């Protein structure tokens, strides 16, 4: 039987989808090429913005209209955070972000009984084991990627004013180091040279981020951190992390705003100045580090002055990439009921202004790579003369080479910067 698995959202959701897909394939199901040929449609949803909920509704309705006989499975953050709204969508099987390892059994049970299954449960207090790669299973998924995500942490209790994630993912829970070791070894054994440690709030990893990176570095040639919260990234931790030469100097350091008054109202746990000091600390410890970030526009009460301050700070920090989100009120968060909600058109106008500043910063970052020698993991061949990959600091590079293979790690000198990537030889 064939299944179609669609994933919305973050690297943790993608990791869990890979694990689910591997589970189904181990059992004998096959990935479908399209909804028309699928017996089962699984939607692993996200609920970070109103838009993601809209997408979830559209994808489910479209699957059913294109293939009325398909079994529909709705899982992930949307049903966990908004169970009633999710139930209205009428999926055959519905469950949240916990008990992912039971989804195969639920599908088999539904295929037998055809009775709708509602398995949205409270979130656990301990880390739920669910791996993608494993040495004791005779099948390791080959996602065709050159880097493997390894989930090490789940949940968050920071309760930033705009964020629905704690409701969808629960309290912080950490994966035991031995379990990480087993999966890192299996992923490296499956040929992955880069391991990306991921979690909902990595800096809440209770066994220590340094320990987790050290473990992964025993098996991989490169270790990357998905995203980290600035407040928990202490100088002492940074000094220890800098000793691990395999750690990629690319930090996705979530900022959200560069205005202290906004950061305060958001309930973020640092000032713009403290954030900047963190960036400078990393620059003093790592060779040619790169910083990417998330920023929000139009947070309730945001004045033009506060926005301009935030924009100015972003330029000062010099990000290589900024993911920009216009504020989206999530029911159940503090920000949703705050006064002075910024009109939608203002939120979007400010998003566009920040995006164009971000493009400028990206061009400056790529230009600054010219003349540098970078280590690039080849992801694909783009023509007879060229391959493409990402450097340790996540610079996208096209490499002039007739012989390089996917998964090679090459030392490349950057000769020019073009639209969105560098060219090297
Ligand atoms: S740190 Fe804040 S923004 Fe990030 S997941 Fe936790 S509550 Fe959400």
The reply to whether ligand 1 has any atom less than 6 angstroms from the CB of 229 is: yes
Q: Are residues 334 and 311 in the same domain?
A: yes
Q: Which of the four pLDDT bands, split at 50, 70 and 90, describes residue 115? A: very high
What does the alpha-carbon distance between residue 57 and residue 89 come to, in Å, rounded to a whole number? 7
User: Does residue 425 register a pLDDT over 80?
Assistant: yes
The vertex-25 CA angle with 20 and 30, nearest 5°, equals 115
Q: Which numbered atom of ligand 1 lies nearest the CA of 229?
A: 1
The reply to whether ligand 1 has any atom less than 6 angstroms from the CB of 158 is: yes
Q: Are residues 362 and 394 in the same domain?
A: no
313 CA to centre of ligand 1 in angstroms: 21
Phi-psi region of 124 (alpha: psi -120 to 50; beta: other; left: phi over 0): beta
DSSP state letter for 141 = -
163 CA to centre of ligand 1 in angstroms: 6
Total domain count for the chain? 4
Considering the domain boundaries, does residue 342 fall inside one?
A: yes
The reply to whether ligand 1 has any atom less than 6 angstroms from the CB of 157 is: no
Considering the domain boundaries, does residue 166 fall inside one?
A: yes
Ramachandran angles phi, psi of 330, nearest 5°: -105, 120
Q: Are residues 113 and 18 in the same domain?
A: yes
Q: Are residues 211 and 267 in the same domain?
A: no
Considering the domain boundaries, does residue 291 fall inside one?
A: yes
Q: Are residues 299 and 330 in the same domain?
A: yes
81 CA to centre of ligand 1 in angstroms: 14
Q: Which of the four pLDDT bands, split at 50, 70 and 90, describes residue 140? A: low
pLDDT tens for each residue of 278-309: 999 999 999 999 999 999 999 999 999 999 99
Q: Are residues 315 and 384 in the same domain?
A: no
Considering the domain boundaries, does residue 255 fall inside one?
A: no
Q: Which of 71, 96, 119 is at the close of a domain? A: 119
Considering the domain boundaries, does residue 408 fall inside one?
A: yes
Q: Are residues 148 and 199 in the same domain?
A: yes
Strand pairing report for 147-154 and 173-174: antiparallel
What does the alpha-carbon distance between residue 295 and residue 112 come to, in Å, rounded to a whole number? 47
Beta bridge partner(s), residue 291 = 251
Give the domain extent around 386: 373-424
Q: Which of 223, 248, 273 is at the close of a domain? A: 248
DSSP state letter for 122 = P
- How far is CA 401 from each of CA 30, 144, 303, 406, 415, rounded to the nearest angstrom? 36, 21, 51, 12, 14
Considering the domain boundaries, does residue 254 fall inside one?
A: no
Q: Give the CATH number for residue 305.
A: 3.30.750.200
Q: Are residues 206 and 167 in the same domain?
A: yes
What does the alpha-carbon distance between residue 195 and residue 163 come to, in Å, rounded to a whole number? 27
The reply to whether ligand 1 has any atom less than 6 angstroms from the CB of 93 is: no
What does the alpha-carbon distance between residue 328 and residue 314 come to, in Å, rounded to a whole number? 21
Q: Are residues 7 and 26 in the same domain?
A: yes
Q: Are residues 329 and 410 in the same domain?
A: no
Q: Give the CATH number for residue 65.
A: 3.40.50.12160
The reply to whether ligand 1 has any atom less than 6 angstroms from the CB of 8 is: no
Nearest to 63, CA basis, from 80, 45, 40, 33: 40
Task: Please give the sequence-ordered ranges of beta strands (E in DSSP) within 67-109, or none if there are none.
Answer: 71-76, 93-95
Strand pairing report for 321-326 and 373-383: unpaired
What does the alpha-carbon distance between residue 354 and residue 348 come to, in Å, rounded to a whole number? 10
- b/e 363-384 (16+ beta carbons within 10 angstroms → b): eebbebbeebebbbbbbebeee
Q: Which of the four pLDDT bands, split at 50, 70 and 90, describes residue 126? A: confident
The vertex-122 CA angle with 118 and 124, nearest 5°, equals 125
How many residues does this entry show for the chain? 425
176 CA to centre of ligand 1 in angstroms: 22
What does the alpha-carbon distance between residue 397 and residue 377 come to, in Å, rounded to a whole number? 9
Considering the domain boundaries, does residue 236 fall inside one?
A: yes
The reply to whether ligand 1 has any atom less than 6 angstroms from the CB of 165 is: yes
Q: Which of 327, 344, 368 is at the close of a domain? A: 368
The model carries a pTM of 0.93
Q: Are residues 131 and 244 in the same domain?
A: yes
The reply to whether ligand 1 has any atom less than 6 angstroms from the CB of 201 is: yes
pLDDT tens for each residue of 302-350: 999 999 999 999 999 999 999 999 999 999 999 999 999 999 999 999 9
What does the alpha-carbon distance between residue 225 and residue 197 come to, in Å, rounded to a whole number? 5
Extract the tokens encoding 34: 């399209």
Q: Give the CATH number for residue 215.
A: 3.30.750.210
Extract the tokens encoding 411: 């030392």
Q: Are residues 87 and 152 in the same domain?
A: no
Q: Beta-carbon neighbour count of residue 94 at 10 Å?
A: 22
Considering the domain boundaries, does residue 253 fall inside one?
A: no
């Amino acid at each position: 039987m064939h299944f179609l698995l669609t994933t919305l959202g973050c690297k943790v959701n993608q990791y869990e989808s890979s694990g689910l897909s591997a589970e189904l394939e181990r059992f004998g199901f096959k990935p479908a090429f399209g909804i028309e040929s699928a017996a089962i449609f699984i939607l692993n949803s996200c609920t970070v913005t109103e838009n993601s909920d809209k997408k979830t509704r559209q994808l489910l309705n479209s699957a059913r209209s294109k293939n009325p006989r398909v079994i529909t499975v709705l899982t992930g953050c949307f049903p966990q955070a908004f169970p009633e709204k999710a139930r209205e969508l009428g999926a055959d099987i519905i469950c949240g972000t916990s008990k992912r390892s039971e989804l195969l059994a639920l599908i088999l049970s539904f295929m037998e009984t055809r009775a709708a299954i509602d398995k949205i449960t409270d979130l656990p207090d301990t880390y739920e084991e669910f791996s993608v790669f494993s040495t004791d299973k005779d099948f390791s998924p080959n996602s065709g990627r050159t880097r493997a995500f390894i989930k090490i942490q789940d949940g968050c209790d920071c309760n930033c004013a705009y964020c629905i994630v704690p409701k969808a993912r629960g309290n912080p829970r950490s994966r035991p180091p031995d379990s990480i070791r087993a999966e890192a070894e299996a992923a490296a054994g499956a040929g992955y040279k880069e391991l990306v440690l991921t979690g909902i709030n990595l800096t809440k990893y209770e066994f220590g981020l340094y320990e987790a990176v050290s473990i992964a570095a025993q098996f991989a040639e490169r270790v990357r951190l998905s995203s980290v919260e600035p407040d928990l990234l202490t100088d002492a931790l940074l000094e220890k992390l800098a000793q691990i030469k395999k750690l990629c100097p690319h930090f996705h350091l979530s900022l959200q705003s560069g205005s202290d008054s906004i950061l305060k109202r958001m309930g973020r746990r640092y000032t713009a100045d403290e954030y900047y000091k963190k960036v400078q600390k990393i620059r003093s410890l790592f060779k040619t580090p790169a910083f990417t970030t998330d920023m929000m526009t139009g947070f309730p009460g945001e004045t033009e002055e506060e926005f301009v301050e935030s924009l100015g700070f972003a330029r000062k920090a010099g990000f290589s990439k900024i993911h920009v989100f216009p504020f989206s009120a999530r029911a159940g968060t503090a920000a949703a009921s705050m006064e002075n909600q910024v009109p939608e058109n203002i939120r979007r106008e400010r998003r566009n202004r920040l995006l164009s500043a971000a493009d400028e910063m990206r061009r400056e970052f790529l230009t600054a790579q010219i003349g540098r020698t970078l280590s690039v993991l080849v992801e694909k061949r783009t023509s007879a003369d060229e391959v493409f990959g990402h450097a340790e600091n996540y610079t996208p590079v096209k490499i002039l080479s007739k012989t390089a293979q996917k998964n090679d790690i090459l030392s490349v000198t950057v000769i020019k910067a073009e639209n969105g990537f560098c060219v090297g030889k």
